[in-house]
Amino acid sequence: MSDAKPSDPIPSDPEPSDPHTTGAMHNQLSDEYWMRRALDLAMRGLGRVEPNPMVGCMVVCDGREIGQGWHQRFGGPHAEVHALSALTPEQVCRSDLYVTLEPCAHHGKTPPCLDLLLKLRPKRVIIAMLDPFPEVSGRGVAGLRAAGIVVDVGCLEAEARHVNAPYLKRLETGLPWVIAKWAMTLDGAIATETGDSKWITGEVARQRAHELRSRVDAIVVGSETVLKDDPLLTARLPTSMEIPRVAKRIVIDRRMRIPVASQLVRTASAIRLCLVTTQEEVEAQTAKANQLKSSGVEILALPQDVRMGGIGGWLRHLGQQGATNVLVEGGGSLLGSLFDGGWVDQVDCFIAPRILGSARAARPVAGEGSLWVSRAQQLERVHVEVCGVDIHIQGCFPRKRPPTDHF
């Protein structure tokens, strides 16, 4: 059973097969079983290892597990090191090693895993996918094969790519993985017409949302959300639960309306806050801009020409700063622009069994949308979870088209 939280990318595959299945399919089914175990282990690193990839490893001898490990924290030992740490060379040389990503072949914050494997020489190494990171990218596999070690690549590759989709996207595009999150009533309202929204969902669902916050690099809202709700945008969890990382708060505010007295600005010296606006607005409100900066606010001033900045501008800025996962919490106009432009990768929607009614109630996604149901954006790998009395729906979009800019 996976330890992955509901906010994690969710594999939607059938249960693993019995590793002791006999017959012609034995090796394939056995490999898939152990690789699924390794993928489950990899998920434990979510929120702890980024911008590194999540990696899990299983060591199997004569059909039995003798070692396991996963990449536990950024800068720490890799999965293979943890999995092999308690084993003797005699045990390893008789074993198969299952790893969800190609072993690294370069010196980074830790020595190459390739060197360890060449020293211990497992009987066979089964790898879910190659690592496209330029300093690895096939070198790990080539090094193992050159030493005469049997290497199989591609076992559950699609699942492995899904687990590390945020890492792969940032490597390929320089952009972080964008998660759109909202909570709404059964009839699709996120607030009443007066702006009241506390609380639409119950305590269990709200804790899930805070767990999601605790695993991302940045939390993004529009200026309207700041003006209406005065949010703090932090992860607040029970003291017994770990908060793996503290997200940077981002406010998209092209007219620089954020109040200096807001909770966000008042806490900017302790918790990072970035205001995304235009260069024209900074020049028009110099005094306020200086006041915000003196409070610890970072101001990202994009060119007035949105084709040179806009959503792509601040997302690339976050990617350049090392962000892998970005959580966008609204409001409707901001989410509408993200959906219209094709920027969203994942949706986490919490639905409460309430009916609010009213044509004037606030809705989660605005924008242009689609005129045809057949052209609606369709989620894949959908996972549905009951959170107390509420429902949590999570899914991802296939990456098919390049996104377009809006501000």
Catalytic positions: 80
Contact 42, 56 (CB under 8 A): yes
CA distance 104 to 176: 22
**61 phi and psi angles, rounded to 5 deg:** -125, 125
Distant-in-sequence, close-in-space partners of 200: CB < 8 Å, separation ≥ 6? 183, 184, 185, 189, 190, 191, 350, 352, 354
SS3 64: strand
**395 phi and psi angles, rounded to 5 deg:** -165, 170
Instruction: Show the DSSP H helices in 230-379 as ranges.
Output: 263-266, 279-284, 286-294, 310-320, 332-341
Of 152, 158, 157, 93, nearest to 125 (Cα)? 152
- Which residues is 191 bridged to in the sheet? 362
CA distance 80 to 114: 9
DSSP 237: -
For the chain, state the CA radius of gyration: 23
Q: H or E stretch including 338?
A: helix 332-341
Six-digit token string for 124:
């066979």
Length of the chain: 407
